[in-house]
Structure 1
Amino acid sequence: MKLAFIGIGNVGFAIANNLQRKGHKIIIAHNDLKNETVQKALQKNTAFTVQKMQEAIHNATVIFLATPFSVSKEILETLHFKGKILVDCTNPVGKGISHGLNSKISGAEKIQEWASDAKVVKAFTIYGFENLINSNFPNYNINPVMMIAGNDLISKKQVSKLCEDLGFQALDTGTLDLALHLEHLTLLWVKMVRRDGHHPNFTWAYLEK
């Protein structure tokens, strides 16, 4: 599958690098082909290609948004998705590691507003990038869970397959408004690790009786 990445920093590269190893074709979507972050990603994985944003969206089956949330509106309102899947990997983090939208609405719902012709699925946000680099926990007989949310069932099934490619158990939590609670789960992880010094190599699991 051809996958385009808008944003190829720590989170974007970790996802893209592992999906490329699983046989997917990765396109970095950036209008400045000589951008420093883009060049670093190309040096680390020479199988990546780079195209201007709209071209990359046109050529990809699924698009990942892995930019800082603060620049998302400016980027998305210039682009056309024509019904394609847009995976929202962003988190609106505010001052003091608070919810950047005051918990009134999820960042994913704002992403959907700014990319109104995309099918937005929230995914790959409840952990730091360390667990996207390596999702393997060999001491356990289950895979870590990756919770997702979105309004389109077919799109979520497609994203779930990509979650599984990365070694996660995909869990569809429901419609896109539930992304607000996933963003709070992210804040819990970030406060534990980035603020309070807990090691980053832990994830959540989904257990059923």
Structure 2
Amino acid sequence: MKLAFIGIGNVGFALANNLQKKGRDIVIAHNDIKSESVLSAQRKNSDFKALPIQEAIDIADVIFLATPFKYNEDILKPLDFRGKTLVDCTNPVGAGISHGLQSQISGAEKVQEWALNSNVVKSYTIYGFENLENSNFSKYNVKPVMMIAGNNDESKKQVSLLNSDLGFQTLDTGNLSQSLHLEHMTLLWVKMVRANGHHPHFTWAYLER
């Protein structure tokens, strides 16, 4: 499976690096393939290729969006996703670690509006990048859960497969509108860790009787 990453910062790199180690073919999607962010990622993993964004989308099976949310509209609107899966790893965060869209709509639903001919799946947002770098909690006999939301079942199956690569159990929470609640879980994690000093090396688990 070939994966394109729009955004290769902490979150994008953690996902891309681990998925490349699992045998996935990684392409960094950037319109300046000599930018420092691209070169920095390639210095850390020389197997990463880089292409202009639309070219990367054209050859990818799944595209990851891991950019600051405020740039998403400008990045996405000119692009043709050809009905492919777009994994939304972004979060609209406002002042005081509040929901950047006043909880009226999820960021993922806005991403779907801007990338009309994609199938958006919300994933990889309920934790910080530290748990995307390493999802192993060897003291416990359960995998950490990765909650997802989306409107297309086939796209969610693709993301679930990648979750397994990364060591997560997938919990499908429903349609894309459920992303609003996942984004609030993000805010909970961020407030605990980034604002209140809790260590970042913890996740949620799904226990079923």
TM above 0.5: yes
1:135 aligns with 2:127: no
**Per-residue deviation at 1:108?**
0.1
**Per-residue deviation at 1:47?**
0.4
User: How big is each residue's C-alpha offset from its partner over 1:70-98, in whole Å with a ceiling of 9 and x where there is no partner?
Assistant: 00000001110010000000000000000
**RMSD (Å) for aligned C-alpha atoms:** 0.3
CA distance in 2, matches of 1:78, 1:8: 20
Give the alignment of 1:24-103 within 5 angstroms. Answer: 24-103=24-103
CA distance in 1, matches of 2:133, 2:199: 15
CA distance in 2, matches of 1:33, 1:154: 31
CA distance in 2, matches of 1:11, 1:78: 24
Unaligned runs of 5+ in 1: none
CA distance in 2, matches of 1:125, 1:204: 12
Unaligned runs of 5+ in 2: none
User: How big is each residue's C-alpha offset from its partner over 1:132-182, in whole Å with a ceiling of 9 and x where there is no partner?
Assistant: 000000000000000000000111011000011000001100000000000
**Per-residue deviation at 1:110?**
0.1
CA distance in 1, matches of 2:52, 2:46: 18
CA distance in 2, matches of 1:35, 1:160: 31
CA distance in 2, matches of 1:62, 1:195: 33
1:158 equivalent in structure 2: 158
CA distance in 1, matches of 2:73, 2:146: 25
CA distance in 2, matches of 1:78, 1:35: 20
Identity level (%): 70
CA distance in 2, matches of 1:195, 1:189: 10
Moved over 4 A (4+): none
CA distance in 2, matches of 1:87, 1:197: 29
2:196 equivalent in structure 1: 196
Give the alignment of 1:117-136 within 5 angstroms. Answer: 117-136=117-136
1:184 equivalent in structure 2: 184
Q: Give secondary structure in 1 for the equivalent of 2:5.
A: strand
CA distance in 2, matches of 1:43, 1:78: 29
CA distance in 1, matches of 2:78, 2:35: 19
The TM-score with structure 2 as length reference comes to 1.00
